[in-house]
Homo-oligomer: A and B are copies of this chain.
Amino acid sequence: MMQELDLKTVGSRATKVDGPAIVTGRAQYADDVQLPGMVYGRLLHNPHPHARIRRIDTTRALAVPGVVDVVTGADLPDLDLFATDEVCYQGQKVGVVVADDPDVAADALELIEVEYEVLPAVVDPLVALQHDSPPVRLDAPASEHKDADGRVLPNVTTHGELVEGDVERGFAEADVVVEAEYNVPFFHQNYLEPNASTARLEPDGRITIWTAAQGSFNIRDAVAGALRLPHGRIRVIVTQVGGAFGAKNGIFVEAHAAMLAMRLRRPVKITMRRDEEFLDGNPAPGCHVYLKTGARKDGTLTALEGRIVWDRGWLGGGGAANRLRGLYRIPHIKLESYGVRTNKPRPGAYRAPGSIQTAFARESNMDLLARKLNMDPVELRLMNAISTGDPSLNGTPLEKDWLRLTIQRTAAAAEWGKRKLGPNQGIGIACGEWTNGAGPSNAFITLGEDGSVTLLTGQVDITGLHTTLAQIVAEELAVDLTKVKVTLGNTDMVPYTALSAGSLATYSAGTAAREAARRARHRILRAAAEFLEVDADQLEMGAGRVVSRSDASLSVGLAELAASARRSSEGPISGQWVLGSLPTHPSYSVHIATVEVDPGTGRVRLLDLVAGQDVGRALNPMLVEGQIHGGATQCLGLGLMEGYKYGGNEHLLNADLVDNPIPTAMDVPVIRTVMVEEPCSDGPYGAKGVGEPPMIPGAAAIANAIHDAVGIRVTTVPITPERVLRVLQAGAAEQA
């Protein structure tokens, strides 16, 4: 049962506070920053997957009228902003031209002469994993990883194993075993707003940076790290953010702009083009998964074994196997993981990082298992789902039966098992798990003398956060939502604030806002008690006033209280809260997709998507639905359309939105959302993070629906018509 709170503004479908600015085109994004005397940087990117730099000659570029500066790695011996000797991915930064005009800078780029010696490259993680793979980086530290024969694996950067129980025993106990291999390519976050950053050297030697990022403090710290400056030298101002999805957790061109601003003593702006975003962004990592699942005849899961090879791009890095499990009780588990280098850019976060890829494998295997057991896939999941008291993926015991409720309510909404499907139509279900983070956040609230309220927060809004914060403040102070104004503080104004990432923003900043508002409320009630000469506990707040519970004629307006407080010794009414962390809770998402497959062309049409989500409490159902719609749409993109394709000489073939398309309104069905509101005990009003979960299960749900429709299993996303046709034809050949 949902906990009953008497909420007025929280829980309402309030429109976004920044909506008017966005829809009128007047919101100020990163590229909209204009400073007097500003010059423009354009980056030179290496065209080879792997090469040695023999020589760079910038003479001709420097001679172009309007060019202010040309900088390469040779000019910055102590910094790693540009490649100097070796380039390890197509798109790696080699230099920058700064000019009075961005087009002049772009033209001058072509006059920089770089002589490369092309080296062998590898972009397939399974190839890179081998002992005889060409090295991705010649200058990499020697690998400590060896294969079973003791041969050094030059591109392996991490290897891990997760064992619970005895997996061999688990499979021995299984009546049915399924196994498959899955592939997920690099795929891009494709935020609408390309990265842009403007930097200015201040007269006191500090640097101000404007950028559109998911947090100002992490950008500050990353630039400080890149430029080897104390972070106090840097001030970061985050502008309106035009999409981020995890990508804008870190720096792209911020350190380059700052370096140039220091060098030139003029403001410098760098804005990336769309092709630069593909080539030199930080897309989601790809992976190859082998997964084997075993169950008893009755469907009880007994064993899970798997291996995941994470494609970590040129710098390598870790990648866990942990998320191949979760959601279900499985006594015997053995999972192995590799992080390998490839000649690709360094991948970053994309909405539910790690979970999207692993869920595709895990939930596909569950479907295979259901088929082999001849069980309903919903039933199979329900019978194995973890429940109240069971540990979630990160160890926290579940407070409520969130997963099962989400499966049940989503299946009910989708009329699972009751819908009549046409020929070549199929339905599929998949589940996802995410535990939202919680990080440092803060809120500083002031009551003004017209009864309006200001809120200063360090938490960047990428999802409607500031609207929700305004709702929370309006709720706690019983004022109209239009009375609340939210301001994003920069790194000089507020304490360290976490990134708005990991579905933590509303959870953390919402808690800070609620606590700050409650402190202001306490002060208001105290002031009103004095004003009305009654006990504070006799008073309640409502409609911009404080009213006596026993005598409604006894009341005082917030405006009047604020004015009188201003003149008191205690001063204006305010409330403030700073928090570090909070306990967190898992949340679950369940997608049920209905597709129709054209067996002649292989084309898959998504007919219907029911997206269920365990949200704790929907503080603003419209914004939560927006998150679900967006996440589900991105699932569809990964499931059917998106992904980096590599071809001749390991070059990226589709660094553009024509060949690497994202779903348009023509591709997306009406997405039906199911919000499961079973509050958790720690989020504001019981809310959980809602940003990542809707991205997780969709691709698997689509693959499962395709299987249902035409009886084939496609294990590589995106499930393009070519792949469907190929599997259909292989299946026909097998049958023949």
- Asked if residues B569 and A579 are in contact (CB atoms below 8 Å), the reply is yes
For chain A, residues 489 to 546, give those with C-beta under 8 angstroms from any C-beta of chain B.
Answer: 489-496
**Could you show 6 A-B contacts with beta carbons less than 8 Å apart?**
A21-B204, A221-B449, A232-B485, A569-B580, A569-B582, A572-B578
Query: Would you give the shortest CB distance from A203 to chain B, in whole angstroms?
Result: 4
Mark interface residues in A201-216 (1 if CB within 8 Å of B CB, else 0): 0111110000000000
- Asked if residues B492 and A442 are in contact (CB atoms below 8 Å), the reply is no
Q: A493 contacts which chain B residues (CB < 8 A)?
A: 444, 454, 456, 487, 489, 493
Besides A487-B490, A569-B582, A571-B578, 15 other CB < 8 A contacts? A20-B203, A224-B450, A231-B449, A231-B450, A232-B452, A442-B572, A444-B444, A485-B492, A495-B574, A496-B571, A567-B580, A568-B581, A570-B580, A571-B581, A576-B576
| Interface residue? A483 (CB, 8 A) | yes
Query: Would you give the shortest CB distance from A233 to chain B, in whole angstroms?
Result: 8
Q: A235 contacts which chain B residues (CB < 8 A)?
A: 485
Q: A580 contacts which chain B residues (CB < 8 A)?
A: 565-572
For chain A, residues 8 to 53, give those with C-beta under 8 angstroms from any C-beta of chain B.
Answer: 17-18, 20-21, 24, 26-27, 34, 36
Query: Would you give the shortest CB distance from A252 to chain B, in whole angstroms?
Result: 23
Kindly report which residue of chain B lies nearest to residue A484, judged by CB atoms. Answer: B232
| Interface residue? A446 (CB, 8 A) | yes
Question: How far is it, in angstroms, between the C-alpha of A578 and the C-alpha of B444 when the chains are bound?
Answer: 11
Query: Would you give the shortest CB distance from A517 to chain B, in whole angstroms?
Result: 14
- Asked if residues A446 and B232 are in contact (CB atoms below 8 Å), the reply is no
Q: Which of A17, A204, A231, A562 has the most CB of B within 10 A?
A: A204
- Asked if residues A232 and B483 are in contact (CB atoms below 8 Å), the reply is yes
- Asked if residues A572 and B440 are in contact (CB atoms below 8 Å), the reply is yes
Given A232-B485, A580-B565: A495 touches B572 (CB 8 Å cut-off): yes
Kindly report which residue of chain B lies nearest to residue A572, judged by CB atoms. Answer: B495
- Asked if residues B230 and A450 are in contact (CB atoms below 8 Å), the reply is yes
Q: Which of A20, A231, A580 has the most CB of B within 10 A?
A: A580
Kindly report which residue of chain B lies nearest to residue A204, judged by CB atoms. Answer: B20
Kindly report which residue of chain B lies nearest to residue A235, judged by CB atoms. Answer: B485
Query: Would you give the shortest CB distance from A201 to chain B, in whole angstroms?
Result: 10
Query: Would you give the shortest CB distance from A144 to chain B, in whole angstroms?
Result: 29
The 6 closest A-B pairs by CB, nearest first: A232-B452, A571-B580, A495-B572, A21-B203, A20-B203, A230-B450
| Interface residue? A285 (CB, 8 A) | no
Copies in the complex: 2
Question: How far is it, in angstroms, between the C-alpha of A664 and the C-alpha of B490 when the chains are bound?
Answer: 41
- Asked if residues B24 and A203 are in contact (CB atoms below 8 Å), the reply is yes
Question: How far is it, in angstroms, between the C-alpha of A487 and the C-alpha of B569 when the chains are bound?
Answer: 24
| Interface residue? A319 (CB, 8 A) | no
Given A487-B492, A492-B485: A571 touches B442 (CB 8 Å cut-off): yes
Q: Which of B452, B496, B573 contacts A449 (CB 8 A)?
A: B496
Q: A221 contacts which chain B residues (CB < 8 A)?
A: 449
| Interface residue? A170 (CB, 8 A) | no
Q: Which of A444, A489, A582 has the most CB of B within 10 A?
A: A444
Kindly report which residue of chain B lies nearest to residue A27, judged by CB atoms. Answer: B203
| Interface residue? A448 (CB, 8 A) | yes
For chain A, residues 456 to 482, give those with C-beta under 8 angstroms from any C-beta of chain B.
Answer: 456
Q: Which of B18, B36, B206 contacts A34 (CB 8 A)?
A: B36
Q: A485 contacts which chain B residues (CB < 8 A)?
A: 206, 232, 235, 492
Query: Would you give the shortest CB distance from A520 to chain B, in whole angstroms?
Result: 10
Q: A576 contacts which chain B residues (CB < 8 A)?
A: 444, 576
Query: Would you give the shortest CB distance from A625 to chain B, in whole angstroms?
Result: 23
- Asked if residues A231 and B448 are in contact (CB atoms below 8 Å), the reply is yes
Kindly report which residue of chain B lies nearest to residue A581, judged by CB atoms. Answer: B569
Q: A34 contacts which chain B residues (CB < 8 A)?
A: 34, 36
Q: A230 contacts which chain B residues (CB < 8 A)?
A: 450, 452
Q: A203 contacts which chain B residues (CB < 8 A)?
A: 20-21, 24, 26-27
Question: How far is it, in angstroms, between the C-alpha of A487 and the C-alpha of B230 when the chains are bound?
Answer: 19
Given A204-B17, A571-B495, A578-B574: A456 touches B231 (CB 8 Å cut-off): no
For chain A, residues 228 to 258, give those with C-beta under 8 angstroms from any C-beta of chain B.
Answer: 230-232, 235
Q: A487 contacts which chain B residues (CB < 8 A)?
A: 490, 492-493
Kindly report which residue of chain B lies nearest to residue A498, judged by CB atoms. Answer: B566
Question: How far is it, in angstroms, between the C-alpha of A490 and the C-alpha of B206 when the chains are bound?
Answer: 21
Q: A440 contacts which chain B residues (CB < 8 A)?
A: 566, 571-572
- Asked if residues A566 and B496 are in contact (CB atoms below 8 Å), the reply is yes
Q: A495 contacts which chain B residues (CB < 8 A)?
A: 446, 571-574
Question: How far is it, in angstroms, between the C-alpha of A440 and the C-alpha of B495 when the chains are bound?
Answer: 23
Question: How far is it, in angstroms, between the C-alpha of A205 and the C-alpha of B205 when the chains are bound?
Answer: 37
Kindly report which residue of chain B lies nearest to residue A559, judged by CB atoms. Answer: B230
Q: Which of B441, B494, B566 contacts A446 (CB 8 A)?
A: B494
Question: How far is it, in angstroms, between the C-alpha of A34 and the C-alpha of B34 when the chains are bound?
Answer: 9
Question: How far is it, in angstroms, between the C-alpha of A206 and the C-alpha of B487 when the chains are bound?
Answer: 13
Question: How far is it, in angstroms, between the C-alpha of A26 and the C-alpha of B205 when the chains are bound?
Answer: 12
Q: A573 contacts which chain B residues (CB < 8 A)?
A: 495
Query: Would you give the shortest CB distance from A467 to chain B, in whole angstroms?
Result: 12
Question: How far is it, in angstroms, between the C-alpha of A18 and the C-alpha of B20 when the chains are bound?
Answer: 36
Q: A27 contacts which chain B residues (CB < 8 A)?
A: 203
Q: Which of B17, B202, B205, B496 contacts A572 (CB 8 A)?
A: B496
